[in-house]
Amino acid sequence: MKQMRKKDWSHELTLAFAAPAPKRKEAFLKTMPVPQLDPWGFFFTQLQYVRKRTWIFSIFILLACIGIVRFASDGVCWKTAALLPFLTLITTTEFARSTQWNMVELEMSCKYSLSQILMARFLIFGTVDFLILGVIIGIVSTQSEFYLLRTVLYLITPCTMTAALSLWIIRRTPRNESIYFCAAASAFISIAHDLAGSSGAYFYHPDLLPVWEILCLASVCFLLKQGKELLSSARKGQLLFIH
């Protein structure tokens, strides 16, 4: 009997507090203003999410390279090249920030697709790194013992190697650990470059120039492949990173 009364009360309460059917819902929603965002607006919106310390660390790397050119008596090229993997690490850290803090699923639910967000970040960080590298190359070439194209090759190669390896690591390691693996890879490339450069002039001997060219080309191709796979996975709506 008590159970029957409880059911009656529940039914009555449900009827008493039932929300009325919405009226003119569609018309009301149509009157609400929808913010418009053009592609350039979206690009600059993503630019605002880059942390200030990313710019500070990038400027610090630039100043460190200028210091090497200013005060190093020899080995300007390989000493500068040994620092550049950390410039790529700064970019990788910012690029993978959403995965580190488990924000990938939230970004996938935004108005713009995840592939568009990733492409915007590629453009932002690629442009910034390109400008910084351009300044560094211009400064180093004034003190380098090599001609300009060889200087560019020696400075670009460690960057492309680090970037390609970092993208590969980000897609194949657990989210919370990917940054540490990328840092280890950057440190390894930097130390290896520093040790090889300080061991003797043979590292930059003209006979090894074809090896440098092959290594740089292979790194660029591998970097493009990893970027393409990353964007392709994002377009398919797949989770890009290991939990």
Per-residue model confidence (pLDDT) at position 201: 61
Q: Identify the burial level of 10 via C-beta atoms within 10 angstroms of its C-beta, where 0-12 means exposed, 13-18 middle and 19 or more buried.
A: exposed
Confidence of residue 112 (pLDDT cuts 50, 70, 90): low
- Is 41 within a domain? no
Tens of pLDDT along 66-88?
898 888 777 788 888 888 999 88
* 33 half-sphere exposure, CB direction, 13 A CA radius: 3
Contacts of 231 (CB under 8 A, 6+ apart): 115, 118, 119
User: Does 218 fall in a domain?
Assistant: yes
Residue 211 domain flag = yes
User: DSSP letters along 49-98, please?
Assistant: TS-HHHHHHHHHHHHHHHHHHHH-SS-HHHHHHHHHHHHHHHHHHHHTHH
How far is 187 from 8, CA to CA, in rounded Å? 71
Q: Is residue 241 part of a domain?
A: no
pLDDT at 34: 62
7 within some domain: no
Could you tell me the residue range of the domain that residue 58 belongs to? 51-235
Residue 54: Cβ-neighbour burial (10 angstroms; 0-12, 13-18, 19+): middle
pLDDT in tens, 37-69: 666 776 777 777 777 888 888 899 999 988 988
Quick check: is 223 in a domain? yes
Domain-located, residue 177: yes
Task: Report how many domains make up the chain.
Answer: 1
For the cut 50, the answer to whether the pLDDT of residue 165 exceeds it is yes
Flag whether 197 is in a domain.
yes
Instruction: Give the percent of the chain with pLDDT over 70.
Output: 78
Residue 113 has pLDDT above 90, yes or no: no
In this structure, what are the phi and psi dihedrals at residue 174, rounded to the nearest 5 degrees? -55, 150
